[in-house]
Amino acid sequence: MNLDATKFAIVLDGGLPGGVAANAAAVLSLSVGRAFPEIVGPAVTDGDGDEHPGITQLPIPVLRAAPEALPELRRKASERGLYCVGFTHTARTARSYDAYTQRMAATANDNLCFVGIAIVGERSAVEGLCGALPMLR
């Protein structure tokens, strides 16, 4: 992966309360980190010689959109061959991964309500989808 040509953006339902938005961004970031471990840089050493684990090498804008716009944005990202992971209301409210898996299996794609999505891919393609979206506040 050429990090200079890669963009990573998170788009959340703009009406989420702060704690829910922070949780959604964290969940989506973990999924992206698993799919693209090269985004995380190597450990660094501070001036006192203490080592600090690597963090993301890419900026991660956290943007906002209307909840009804998220499925369409996800669809467009997929059509353009971009990596896109969604965090659904089903996932957010499940108390275990087994419960999440069962609830997802019983929910049609058209009935999924997205809390947020993360998109990773070629910079201009991601910017074309997300560039006009405002930052989450």
CATH number at residue 98: 3.40.1490.10
Specify if 136 maps to a domain.
Answer: no
Q: Mark the ranges of the chain whose per-residue pLDDT is less than 50.
A: none
3-class SS of residue 49: coil
At 73, which amino acid appears?
A: L
- Residues in CB range of 58: below 8 A, 6 or more apart: 3, 6, 7, 8, 39
pTM over 0.75: yes
| Predicted pLDDT at 1 | 87
Q: Is 104 contained in some domain?
A: yes
> In this structure, are residues 16 and 62 in contact, taking their beta carbons and an 8 Å threshold?
no
What is the C-alpha separation between 81 and 99, in angstroms, rounded? 30
Closest CA to 33 of 13, 52, 60, 12: 60
Amino acid code (one letter) for 47: G
pLDDT attached to residue 42: 97
Residue carrying structure tokens 């809390």? 115
The answer to whether 70 touches 11, Cβ cutoff 8 Å, is yes
- Asked if residue 137 belongs to a domain, the reply is no
Residue 24 lies in a domain: yes
- 106-120: b (≥16 Cβ within 10 Å) or e: eeeeeebebbbbbbb
**What is the rounded CA–CA span in Å between residue 65 and residue 50?**
40
Cβ contact 35:120 at 8 Å:
yes
Looking at residue 34, what is its pLDDT?
A: 96
Q: How many domains does the chain have?
A: 1
Residue 105 lies in a domain: yes
Structural domain harbouring 54: 3-130
In a domain, residue 97? The reply is yes
